[in-house]
Amino acid sequence: MYDNVSDIGSFAGAVLEEVETEDKRLARYALSGKGKGASSRALEDTDAAFFCKDGVPRRLGIMGGTFDPIHLGHLNCAERAMEALGLDGVLFIPAGDPAFKQDRDIASTEARLAMCELAVADNPSFCVSDIEIRRHGITYTVDTLERLRAAYGADVEFVFIIGTDSLLTLSDWKDASRLASLANFACVSRPGYEVDPVIVNGLCEAGFHIEFVKAPMFDISSSEVRALCKAGSSIRYLVPYAIRVFIAQHGLYGDERGEGRPTIGFEGSGTEWMY
Protein backbone atom coordinates (compact mmCIF):
# COMPACT_ATOMS: atom_id res chain seq x y z
CA MET A 1 0.00 0.00 0.00
CA TYR A 2 1.36 3.42 0.85
CA ASP A 3 4.67 3.54 2.63
CA ASN A 4 4.63 7.10 3.77
CA VAL A 5 2.71 10.28 3.93
CA SER A 6 4.14 11.57 0.69
CA ASP A 7 2.78 8.53 -1.21
CA ILE A 8 -0.65 9.19 0.21
CA GLY A 9 -0.23 12.84 -0.70
CA SER A 10 0.50 12.09 -4.33
CA PHE A 11 -2.35 9.56 -4.49
CA ALA A 12 -4.72 12.19 -3.12
CA GLY A 13 -3.36 14.67 -5.64
CA ALA A 14 -4.08 12.31 -8.51
CA VAL A 15 -7.63 11.66 -7.29
CA LEU A 16 -8.21 15.37 -6.91
CA GLU A 17 -7.05 16.04 -10.44
CA GLU A 18 -9.41 13.38 -11.75
CA VAL A 19 -12.35 14.72 -9.76
CA GLU A 20 -11.69 18.25 -10.92
CA THR A 21 -11.42 17.21 -14.53
CA GLU A 22 -14.64 15.20 -14.31
CA ASP A 23 -16.48 18.08 -12.62
CA LYS A 24 -15.31 20.51 -15.24
CA ARG A 25 -16.08 18.12 -18.07
CA LEU A 26 -19.63 17.71 -16.79
CA ALA A 27 -20.05 21.42 -16.31
CA ARG A 28 -18.79 22.18 -19.81
CA TYR A 29 -20.95 19.45 -21.28
CA ALA A 30 -24.09 20.68 -19.60
CA LEU A 31 -23.35 24.35 -20.20
CA SER A 32 -22.76 23.66 -23.88
CA GLY A 33 -26.39 22.57 -24.17
CA LYS A 34 -25.46 19.02 -25.04
CA GLY A 35 -26.72 17.64 -21.75
CA LYS A 36 -29.57 15.19 -21.47
CA GLY A 37 -31.80 17.77 -23.09
CA ALA A 38 -35.02 16.49 -21.53
CA SER A 39 -36.42 19.96 -21.91
CA SER A 40 -36.15 19.86 -25.67
CA ARG A 41 -38.27 16.70 -25.93
CA ALA A 42 -42.01 16.68 -26.37
CA LEU A 43 -44.08 15.48 -23.44
CA GLU A 44 -45.30 12.50 -25.42
CA ASP A 45 -41.87 10.98 -25.55
CA THR A 46 -41.23 12.34 -22.08
CA ASP A 47 -38.74 10.81 -20.09
CA ALA A 48 -40.77 7.55 -20.21
CA ALA A 49 -38.06 6.04 -22.35
CA PHE A 50 -35.42 7.47 -20.08
CA PHE A 51 -36.55 5.44 -17.12
CA CYS A 52 -37.42 2.25 -18.89
CA LYS A 53 -35.62 -0.63 -17.33
CA ASP A 54 -36.77 -3.77 -19.11
CA GLY A 55 -39.22 -1.70 -21.06
CA VAL A 56 -41.37 -0.10 -18.37
CA PRO A 57 -40.61 1.99 -15.32
CA ARG A 58 -42.55 0.75 -12.31
CA ARG A 59 -42.01 3.33 -9.60
CA LEU A 60 -41.18 6.80 -10.81
CA GLY A 61 -40.09 9.48 -8.37
CA ILE A 62 -41.23 13.00 -9.15
CA MET A 63 -39.80 16.02 -7.43
CA GLY A 64 -41.39 19.40 -7.99
CA GLY A 65 -39.97 22.66 -6.78
CA THR A 66 -39.05 26.19 -7.68
CA PHE A 67 -35.39 25.17 -7.67
CA ASP A 68 -34.29 28.78 -7.39
CA PRO A 69 -31.58 27.52 -7.38
CA ILE A 70 -31.41 23.72 -7.10
CA HIS A 71 -29.09 22.74 -4.24
CA LEU A 72 -27.59 19.67 -2.58
CA GLY A 73 -30.58 19.39 -0.23
CA HIS A 74 -32.86 18.73 -3.23
CA LEU A 75 -30.48 16.22 -4.76
CA ASN A 76 -29.93 14.43 -1.47
CA CYS A 77 -33.69 14.30 -0.89
CA ALA A 78 -34.26 12.66 -4.30
CA GLU A 79 -31.37 10.22 -3.94
CA ARG A 80 -32.47 9.08 -0.46
CA ALA A 81 -36.08 8.59 -1.54
CA MET A 82 -34.98 6.71 -4.66
CA GLU A 83 -32.82 4.36 -2.65
CA ALA A 84 -35.18 3.82 0.27
CA LEU A 85 -38.25 3.22 -1.88
CA GLY A 86 -36.67 1.39 -4.81
CA LEU A 87 -37.62 4.01 -7.39
CA ASP A 88 -36.50 3.55 -10.99
CA GLY A 89 -35.48 7.16 -11.27
CA VAL A 90 -36.48 10.68 -10.35
CA LEU A 91 -37.96 13.29 -12.63
CA PHE A 92 -37.24 16.86 -11.50
CA ILE A 93 -39.93 19.32 -12.52
CA PRO A 94 -39.11 23.00 -12.04
CA ALA A 95 -42.26 25.07 -11.57
CA GLY A 96 -43.09 27.65 -14.22
CA ASP A 97 -44.97 30.15 -12.14
CA PRO A 98 -45.17 28.64 -8.68
CA ALA A 99 -48.48 29.00 -6.92
CA PHE A 100 -46.86 29.55 -3.53
CA LYS A 101 -44.24 32.08 -4.59
CA GLN A 102 -46.23 34.97 -5.98
CA ASP A 103 -44.75 37.41 -3.50
CA ARG A 104 -41.16 37.57 -4.74
CA ASP A 105 -39.15 37.71 -7.95
CA ILE A 106 -37.74 34.41 -9.00
CA ALA A 107 -34.99 33.64 -11.51
CA SER A 108 -36.15 33.10 -15.09
CA THR A 109 -37.66 29.75 -15.97
CA GLU A 110 -34.81 29.21 -18.45
CA ALA A 111 -32.18 29.75 -15.77
CA ARG A 112 -33.87 27.45 -13.24
CA LEU A 113 -34.39 24.77 -15.89
CA ALA A 114 -30.76 25.02 -17.02
CA MET A 115 -29.53 24.72 -13.43
CA CYS A 116 -31.65 21.61 -12.90
CA GLU A 117 -30.20 20.05 -16.04
CA LEU A 118 -26.70 20.89 -14.91
CA ALA A 119 -27.31 19.44 -11.48
CA VAL A 120 -28.52 16.07 -12.73
CA ALA A 121 -26.03 15.72 -15.59
CA ASP A 122 -23.87 13.21 -13.72
CA ASN A 123 -26.70 11.03 -12.41
CA PRO A 124 -28.14 8.58 -14.92
CA SER A 125 -31.17 8.02 -12.68
CA PHE A 126 -32.19 11.68 -12.62
CA CYS A 127 -33.90 13.56 -15.40
CA VAL A 128 -35.52 16.99 -15.81
CA SER A 129 -38.87 17.73 -17.38
CA ASP A 130 -39.97 21.16 -18.62
CA ILE A 131 -43.65 20.18 -18.52
CA GLU A 132 -44.50 22.97 -16.04
CA ILE A 133 -42.22 25.55 -17.55
CA ARG A 134 -43.84 25.24 -20.97
CA ARG A 135 -47.23 26.03 -19.46
CA HIS A 136 -48.19 29.61 -18.91
CA GLY A 137 -49.62 30.96 -15.69
CA ILE A 138 -49.61 29.42 -12.26
CA THR A 139 -48.75 25.73 -12.25
CA TYR A 140 -50.40 23.26 -9.94
CA THR A 141 -49.05 19.83 -9.12
CA VAL A 142 -52.42 18.18 -9.63
CA ASP A 143 -52.54 19.35 -13.27
CA THR A 144 -48.98 18.23 -13.88
CA LEU A 145 -49.66 14.78 -12.46
CA GLU A 146 -52.78 14.44 -14.63
CA ARG A 147 -50.67 15.16 -17.71
CA LEU A 148 -47.91 12.82 -16.63
CA ARG A 149 -50.46 10.08 -15.97
CA ALA A 150 -51.76 10.49 -19.52
CA ALA A 151 -48.21 10.29 -20.87
CA TYR A 152 -47.01 7.35 -18.79
CA GLY A 153 -50.18 5.26 -18.62
CA ALA A 154 -51.89 3.68 -15.65
CA ASP A 155 -49.29 1.08 -14.75
CA VAL A 156 -46.52 3.36 -13.60
CA GLU A 157 -46.62 4.21 -9.92
CA PHE A 158 -45.86 7.86 -9.20
CA VAL A 159 -44.11 8.76 -5.99
CA PHE A 160 -44.11 12.50 -5.44
CA ILE A 161 -41.15 13.42 -3.26
CA ILE A 162 -41.43 16.28 -0.78
CA GLY A 163 -39.58 17.61 2.24
CA THR A 164 -41.26 17.84 5.64
CA ASP A 165 -42.02 21.55 5.15
CA SER A 166 -44.15 20.73 2.10
CA LEU A 167 -45.93 17.95 3.98
CA LEU A 168 -47.22 20.54 6.43
CA THR A 169 -48.96 22.46 3.63
CA LEU A 170 -50.03 19.52 1.47
CA SER A 171 -53.70 19.65 2.45
CA ASP A 172 -53.84 23.21 1.01
CA TRP A 173 -52.55 22.22 -2.42
CA LYS A 174 -55.07 22.60 -5.22
CA ASP A 175 -57.57 19.77 -5.50
CA ALA A 176 -56.07 17.82 -2.63
CA SER A 177 -58.29 14.76 -2.91
CA ARG A 178 -57.61 14.40 -6.64
CA LEU A 179 -53.93 14.90 -5.92
CA ALA A 180 -54.02 12.06 -3.39
CA SER A 181 -55.43 9.72 -6.01
CA LEU A 182 -52.77 10.52 -8.61
CA ALA A 183 -49.59 9.74 -6.68
CA ASN A 184 -48.20 8.32 -3.50
CA PHE A 185 -46.05 10.70 -1.51
CA ALA A 186 -42.59 10.28 -0.07
CA CYS A 187 -41.73 12.67 2.72
CA VAL A 188 -38.03 13.16 3.35
CA SER A 189 -36.93 14.67 6.64
CA ARG A 190 -35.79 18.30 6.47
CA PRO A 191 -34.00 20.12 9.29
CA GLY A 192 -36.19 22.56 11.17
CA TYR A 193 -39.48 20.83 10.36
CA GLU A 194 -41.10 18.18 12.52
CA VAL A 195 -43.60 15.69 11.22
CA ASP A 196 -46.86 16.57 12.98
CA PRO A 197 -48.91 13.39 13.64
CA VAL A 198 -52.16 15.34 13.66
CA ILE A 199 -51.44 16.68 10.19
CA VAL A 200 -50.38 13.24 8.98
CA ASN A 201 -53.61 11.69 10.29
CA GLY A 202 -55.62 14.37 8.54
CA LEU A 203 -53.79 13.71 5.27
CA CYS A 204 -54.31 9.95 5.56
CA GLU A 205 -58.01 10.47 6.24
CA ALA A 206 -58.14 12.68 3.15
CA GLY A 207 -56.79 9.77 1.09
CA PHE A 208 -53.08 10.54 0.93
CA HIS A 209 -50.67 7.64 1.01
CA ILE A 210 -47.39 8.81 2.50
CA GLU A 211 -44.12 6.98 3.01
CA PHE A 212 -41.53 8.54 5.30
CA VAL A 213 -37.87 8.50 4.44
CA LYS A 214 -35.42 9.14 7.23
CA ALA A 215 -32.26 10.46 5.68
CA PRO A 216 -29.10 12.27 6.58
CA MET A 217 -30.41 15.80 6.53
CA PHE A 218 -28.95 18.76 4.69
CA ASP A 219 -29.78 22.08 6.27
CA ILE A 220 -29.82 23.97 2.99
CA SER A 221 -32.52 26.08 1.35
CA SER A 222 -32.63 28.04 -1.88
CA SER A 223 -33.50 31.12 0.19
CA GLU A 224 -30.26 30.72 2.10
CA VAL A 225 -28.26 30.21 -1.11
CA ARG A 226 -29.79 33.37 -2.60
CA ALA A 227 -29.08 35.32 0.57
CA LEU A 228 -25.46 34.18 0.57
CA CYS A 229 -25.03 35.21 -3.07
CA LYS A 230 -26.57 38.59 -2.32
CA ALA A 231 -24.14 39.10 0.52
CA GLY A 232 -21.21 38.08 -1.68
CA SER A 233 -20.59 35.00 0.47
CA SER A 234 -19.52 31.55 -0.60
CA ILE A 235 -22.04 28.91 -1.68
CA ARG A 236 -19.38 26.27 -2.14
CA TYR A 237 -20.51 22.88 -0.71
CA LEU A 238 -24.15 23.97 -0.81
CA VAL A 239 -24.73 23.59 -4.54
CA PRO A 240 -22.98 21.48 -7.20
CA TYR A 241 -19.92 22.98 -8.82
CA ALA A 242 -21.68 23.57 -12.13
CA ILE A 243 -24.41 25.56 -10.39
CA ARG A 244 -21.85 27.85 -8.80
CA VAL A 245 -20.40 28.41 -12.24
CA PHE A 246 -23.80 29.09 -13.76
CA ILE A 247 -24.86 31.52 -11.04
CA ALA A 248 -21.63 33.45 -11.31
CA GLN A 249 -21.61 33.48 -15.11
CA HIS A 250 -25.16 34.77 -15.26
CA GLY A 251 -24.88 37.14 -12.32
CA LEU A 252 -27.89 35.58 -10.60
CA TYR A 253 -29.04 36.57 -7.12
CA GLY A 254 -26.96 39.77 -7.31
CA ASP A 255 -24.08 40.52 -5.03
CA GLU A 256 -25.32 43.67 -3.29
CA ARG A 257 -21.83 45.07 -2.96
CA GLY A 258 -21.35 44.75 -6.70
CA GLU A 259 -17.93 43.29 -6.26
CA GLY A 260 -16.79 39.84 -7.17
CA ARG A 261 -14.48 37.48 -5.38
CA PRO A 262 -12.69 35.88 -8.30
CA THR A 263 -11.44 32.73 -6.69
CA ILE A 264 -11.61 30.06 -9.33
CA GLY A 265 -11.27 30.19 -13.07
CA PHE A 266 -12.89 27.87 -15.55
CA GLU A 267 -9.92 26.99 -17.67
CA GLY A 268 -10.26 28.11 -21.23
CA SER A 269 -13.56 29.89 -20.69
CA GLY A 270 -11.94 33.27 -20.17
CA THR A 271 -14.33 33.74 -17.28
CA GLU A 272 -13.57 34.37 -13.69
CA TRP A 273 -16.19 34.21 -11.06
CA MET A 274 -16.84 34.34 -7.42
CA TYR A 275 -18.74 32.00 -5.08
Q: How big is the chain, counted in residues?
A: 275
**With binding defined as CB under 6 A, does residue 166 bind ligand ATP?**
yes
Residue pair 50/152 in contact by the 8 Å Cβ criterion: no
**With binding defined as CB under 6 A, does residue 170 bind ligand ATP?**
no
- Judged by CB under 6 A, the residue of 35, 57, 96, 163 near ligand ATP is 163
- Judged by CB under 6 A, the residue of 121, 188, 248, 252 near ligand ATP is 188
- Judged by CB under 6 A, the residue of 27, 30, 74, 238 near ligand ATP is 74
CB-count exposure of residue 89 (10 Å: 0-12, 13-18, 19+): buried
Nearest distance, CB of residue 3 and ligand ATP, angstroms: 42
Tell me which stretch binds ligand ATP (CB under 6 A): 46-54, 63-71, 83-91, 117-125: 63-71
- Judged by CB under 6 A, the residue of 20, 22, 165, 272 near ligand ATP is 165
Nearest distance, CB of residue 98 and ligand ATP, angstroms: 8
| CA distance from start to end of the chain | 37
Nearest distance, CB of residue 147 and ligand ATP, angstroms: 19
Return residues touching ligand ATP (CB under 6 A). Answer: 65-68, 73-74, 77, 162-163, 165-166, 188, 190, 218, 220-223
